[in-house]
Structure 1
Amino acid sequence: MSNWFGRAALSTYKWAGFALFPGLVVYLAMRTAKGKEDAARRRERFGRPTQERPSGPLVWFHAASVGETTAVLPLMREIRNRGIQVILTTGTVTSAAVARDRAPDGVIHQYVPLDIKPAVSRFLDYWKPDAAIIAESEIWPVTVMELGARHIPQILVNGRLSDKSFALWKRLSSLSEELFRNFALVIAQSEEDGIRYTALGALPVLVSGNLKGDNDEPPYNPEDLEHYRQQIAGRHTWAAISTFEGEEEMAGRIHQRLKRKNNQLTVIVPRHPERADEIQKKLEAMGLDVARRSHGDAVTRSTDILLGDTIGEMGLYLNLTDIVFVGRSMHAEGGQNPLEPAMIGCAVLSGGKVQNFRDAYQRLAKNGGAKIVRDEDMLAKGVHYLMNNDEVRHKMINAGLDTVQQMRGALEATLKGLAPYINPLVVKSYLDNKE
């Protein structure tokens, strides 16, 4: 393929957005009905602001979902501490809740505009960002091209490319070259990610490590934690977190298998809490007694499952146990972030489909902080073994804590890479405030 083909493909994509606009309106309405969009703020998806733009230089952060949002929280805090305004866009109601509860003071949240020219142009015309910082792998062609046309520096931070995404971009090499040449800088998570971005036409590319390693521990309410600990009253516990369809029922079967031996409480935290009704029905059909956090249900001696169906309380759930299975790794692919449970002091178990977090899992597994299990039977045996072998469990926990400590430093490296784009805005903010 040629560059001409890439430009033609992008032009076709842009014009297709106009043609598909009525369908997108219907699509958003359907998502709203399912609770996947915020009805009161749906206009933001068309680039229409619901807050005022503050005066002074402004950096636009975009993070697709919860994981990306938490990854850039410390980076946004550093930018705000330098006197620069920050707007954060995300694409899900769960990430919006995380932004509301955990974003640094002064950060404005909006839902990301649809990747169609009218919405993106309206957003950029109003907010007039001085730079755009995009988290991990969120590449939207119209947005990238519009930022490029306006000569707004755009930087990809904590960049990662899964095997599947890299293979797709390689097949569309002319298109990827047209897109990635618009980036002023790509800061990748790992050496392998850096090599992949370079192969796709991104220049320059730096490697920082994973920003998730510099995150603070997820917060929790100490009173809620003590409340549940009293109700659990010394029972063994384990948790299956960030689960996808099929993994909740798997956790339920493992609970049944181990209950007579361990009398444990199983904590299940689905990646998408809106699935809670469906999950509860399936678990109760298995004969399990389910208590739901969102309903305020008490955990009694007969409770089998505590269903963590709330947003922004991962810190609470992780502090209830020290054995964690991280989902989207057995019945779904890609994996989820294992660093949060490791930094809180949990022994980490996972299925093998963790390509989106390969580097983190490789480091944890190499140091003994995580174990990869091949199937449900191996997971059940691993949970039982860790529950009944304190020395081995504590060794895994300490190895995980050490690994997270070793992985810190990505924030400092990222800030160093961003300096040529951020420092002029610091000077501008200072001069504006002096006037």
Structure 2
Amino acid sequence: MSKSLPLQALMALRRKQTVATPSLSEKNRTAGPVICIHLTSWGDLPAICSLGQRICADEFLLSGPPPSLTIIGPARNCPNSDHPRITIQPEPAENRGEIARFLVKTQPDLLIWTHGRLQPSFLAEADALNIPRILINARNNDLSLTSGRWIPGVMRALLDGFVHIIAADDGAVQRLRRTGVAANKIDALGKLHSETLPLTCNEAEFSEMSSLVGSRPVWLAMNVPESEFRFIAQAHLAASRRAPRLLLLMRPTTPDITESSLALLRQGGLNVAVRSHGDDPTDSTQIYVTDFEDEDGLWLRLSPITFFGGTLTSGVCHSPMEAAALGSAILHGPRVNDRASSFRKLAERGAARLVRDALDLGEAVEALLAPDRSAEMALGGWEVAASGAAVTNRVIELIVALLDEAEDV
């Protein structure tokens, strides 16, 4: 990778230290390529982990093992990852020796830098070790240096060293071009967002359950705490007055449902069946309790309407994007807590509706039984859930091209 004079000068200053630059010539890894992703803020972690789920998948590379990710960011509040191929850790101290040791230890084949707060020492050492790099989420107000401002032209040299840049806003595009970055290096695609992948399900189970449900209208209540069982039963009774064949699929928060809890659902004479009891939904079943774990993809595929439990009482609920990705109209109560941003995005597209109580929920379900109304909401939700796909796909395209190019060298 060629370097302009200002960056070479910066590297020369760094090398006045007595630390010898290690070499990446001998690689002992056999588990596939390593991608290092630098975060400016841990707030970007969900989107990066969503990207990681895609690039760590077995189908990502047509041959050889899938890549691994080393995600680094600010030293404080370093979270953990439960994904076996994603390592999350604090970034090294901003001095040449620490950075060089880190890069040799992790041996990345590719560096992805987020936002535009560029660290000259880190990027210069990556260049010295011939690690290609791309910049994503580049925002106009973030295009700055964390150090090294005393050498004229460093900013341009660092930006020019990126193989490709994905700009998050128009201001960033204009500034990059004014700085001298070639137009063919810049994509104006926006910011990387979490991409919700549709939940999977057992196809045989789906076929069997679809046959059992038949043509009955269905709605789903997800992640329902016992404190909301009575509300859910009342809502179902209200919605069933004009749709007597209506079936409620109810996923409780815990799999261990008690007889006293079931009694709350049976109020008003409702017929309740429980999956863990070996029951299947019959024509007379009004509420089917789906209390097995890891089956959410099955129930979301069966229901065009999903209410998110916990939002009437506790405020603890699942991400609505999973339902949106599978084309379900979304209903929720006022208490959404840390999911507020997701519900707000869906509401802005007409994909989510707020309900205040059991009666309001029942009326909303009844209204959405009209296929055209639920389909319109579902389309808006799917568009929101898929909104991050363009950036994600472009990043993956660049990663594949750079890794393929490295293999050919």
Return the TM-score normalized by structure 2: 0.55
Q: Which amino acid aligns with 2:56?
A: M
Contact 1:83 1:426 in 2 (8 A): no
Residues 155/245 of structure 1: CA separation in 2 closer, same or farther (3 Å cut):
farther
Which whole-Å CA distance do the structure 2 matches of 1:78 and 1:186 have between them? 25
Q: Give, in angstroms, the shift of residue 375 of structure 1.
A: 3.3
SS at 1:268 equivalent: strand
Q: By how many angstroms is 1:304 displaced?
A: 2.8
Q: Per-residue CA shift, 1:366-407, capped at 9, x if unaligned? A: 2222212233332222112222x3432333233334444555
How far did residue 138 of structure 1 move? Answer: 8.3
Name the structure 1 match of 2:89: 144
Other structure's SS at 1:319 match: helix
For residue 211 of structure 1, the aligned residue among 184, 190, 194 is 194
Query: What is the letter of the counterpart of residue 144 of structure 1?
Result: Q
Aligned equivalents of 1:254 and 1:349: distance in 2? 12
- Structure-2 residue corresponding to 1:73: 53
What is residue 71 of structure 2 aligned with on the other side?
Answer: 132
Contact 2:226 2:261 in 1 (8 A): no
Cα drift, residue 258 of structure 1: 3.5
Q: Given the superposition, is the C-alpha separation of residues 280 and 410 from structure 1 closer, same or farther in structure 2, using an over 3 Å criterion?
A: farther
Q: Which of the numbers 324, 331, 334 marks the counterpart of 1:342? A: 324
Q: 2:301 matched to which residue of 1?
A: 319
1:62-89 per-residue CA deviation (whole Å, 9 max, x = no partner) reads xxxx99977743232389417675588x
1:353 to 335, 353, 363: 335
| Distance in 1, Cα, partners of 2:77 & 2:135 | 12
Percent sequence identity over aligned pairs? 22
One-letter identity of the residue aligned with 1:374: R
Give the TM-score of the pair, scaled to structure 1.
0.52
Show the counterpart of 2:262: 283
For 1:254, the equivalent position in structure 2 comes to 235
Tell me, in whole angstroms, the C-alpha distance in 1 between the residues paired with 2:372 and 2:277.
37
Distance 1:185 1:248 in 2: 50
Aligned-residue offset at 1:300: 1.5
Q: Which AA in structure 2 matches 1:322?
A: P
Q: Which residue of 2 aligns with 1:392?
A: 373
Is 1:227 equivalent to 2:208 in the alignment?
yes
CA 1:55–1:83 in structure 2 vs 1: closer, same or farther (change >3 Å)? same
Deviations 1:258-297 (A, max 9, x none): 3444332111124x5xx22236641235425443334542
Which residue of the partner structure matches residue 186 of structure 2? Answer: none
8 Å Cα contact 2:276-2:292 kept in structure 1: yes
Amino acid at match of 2:195: K
Matched, 1:298 2:280: yes
Query: Do the aligned residues in 1 keep the contact of 2:231 with 2:357 (CA within 8 Å)?
Result: no
Could you tell me whether the CA contact under 8 Å between 1:231 and 1:299 is conserved in 2?
Answer: yes
The reply on whether 1:376 has 2:358 as its aligned counterpart is: yes
Distance 1:71 1:294, change over 3 A: farther
CA distance in 1, matches of 2:226, 2:408: 51
Q: What residue identity is the alignment partner of 1:77?
A: A
Distance across 2 between alignment mates of 1:332 and 1:424: 47
CA displacement at 1:324 relative to structure 2: 0.9
Distance 1:267 1:60, change over 3 A: farther
Q: Answer yes or no: is the 8 Å Cα contact 1:363–1:403 preserved in 2.
A: yes
Distance 1:224 1:394 in 2: 24
Correspondence for 2:153: none
The unaligned stretches of length 5 or more in structure 1 are: 1-52, 89-128, 160-180
Shift of 1:306: 1.9
Whose Rg is larger? 2
Secondary structure in 1 aligned to 2:209?
A: helix
Does the 8 Å CA contact 2:247/2:288 hold for their aligned counterparts? yes
Structure 2, gaps ≥5 residues long: 1-28, 38-45, 81-86, 116-121, 123-132, 147-158, 160-166, 169-189
**How far is the alpha carbon of 1:139 from its aligned partner?**
3.3
Structure 2 residue aligned with 1:20: none
Cα RMSD over matched residues?
A: 4.7
For 2:222 and 2:352, the matched residues in 1 are separated by 15
Distance apart, 1:342 and its partner CA: 2.5
CA contact 1:133–1:155 (8 Å) conserved in 2? no
Q: How far is the alpha carbon of 1:239 from its aligned partner?
A: 0.3
For 1:6, the equivalent position in structure 2 comes to none
Stretch deviating more after TM superposition (254-263 or 141-150): 141-150
| In 2: Cα distance, 1:266 partner to 1:358 partner | 25
* Change over 3 Å in CA distance of 1:147–1:378 after alignment to 2: farther
SS of the residue aligned with 2:89? Answer: helix
Aligned residues: 291
- Per-residue CA deviations over 1:319-350 (Å, capped at 9, x if unaligned) read 22211112343323364322332232221112
Give the helix-richer structure, 1 or 2.
Answer: 1
Alpha-carbon distance between aligned partners in 2 of 1:411 and 1:382, rounded to the nearest angstrom? 35
